[in-house]
């Protein structure tokens, strides 16, 4: 996958709280092109694998439970410098520390239930996009 792409999820809290539209507006206004998108739900196995890097962390069980409790919006986004620019748009993991105007500052409720995911490297963006989408679903 090209390095001008990143992968995002609107997490179950963002969907439950009715923020899909507002978050997509922010993404659009920031100049990202939506390359793939779907409403889906992660299984326990999906979430354990997706967040496998955190498997030894104390919050892992809660994170898997949270990420599987309802629908998510999964999407692939394209823009120059997509990974870094999208991390800036979403803000810090903990919304209390996120900059004003960022998606997490506006829509997250806690460090765990923080509304959105954004890939942290080009390599992970490619892995995460392939986790959720087949080649024919990328436009
Ligand atoms: N998380 C949590 N408690 C923590 C740190 C992280 O529940 O103390 C959750 C949170 O949903 C976060 C995800 O685990 O988004 C992945 O953590 P990471 O450090 O990779 O943060 P991110 O890259 O999502 O900002």
Mean pLDDT of the 22-42 span: 98
pLDDT at 80 over 70: yes
What's the total number of domains in the chain? 1
136: DSSP letter? G
Contacts of 81 (CB under 8 A, 6+ apart): 4
pLDDT at 68 over 60: yes
- Sole residue written with tokens 């800036």: 88
Q: Which residues pair with residue 78 across a beta bridge?
A: 5, 33
Segments forming the whole domain that contains residue 9: 5-137
Query: What does residue 83 show for φ and ψ, rounded to 5 degrees?
Result: -60, -50
Q: Which whole-number Å values give the CA distances from 30 to 57, 82, 95, in the listed order?
A: 33, 11, 19
pTM of the shown model: 0.97
Q: Specify whether 117 is catalytic.
A: yes
User: Nearest residue CA, atom 2 of ligand 1?
Assistant: 112
Q: Evaluate whether 132 touches 5 at the Cβ level (below 8 Å).
A: no
Distance 114 CA to ligand 1 centre (A): 8
Query: The domain spanning residue 132 has which CATH number?
Result: 3.30.70.141
């Amino acid at each position: 996958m090209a390095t001008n792409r990143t992968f995002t999820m609107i997490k179950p809290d963002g969907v439950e709280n009715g923020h899909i539209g507002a978050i997509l507006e922010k993404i659009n206004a920031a100049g990202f092109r939506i390359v793939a998108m779907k409403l889906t739900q992660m299984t326990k196995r999906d979430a354990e694998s997706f967040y496998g890097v955190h498997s030894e962390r104390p919050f892992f069980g809660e994170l898997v439970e949270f990420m599987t409790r309802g629908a998510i919006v999964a999407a692939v986004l394209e823009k120059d410098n997509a990974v870094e620019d999208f991390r800036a748009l979403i803000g810090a993991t903990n919304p209390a520390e996120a900059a004003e105007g960022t998606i997490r500052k506006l829509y997250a409720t806690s460090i765990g239930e923080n509304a959105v995911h954004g890939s942290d490297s080009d390599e992970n963006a490619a892995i995460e996009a392939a986790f959720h989408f087949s080649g024919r679903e990328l436009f």
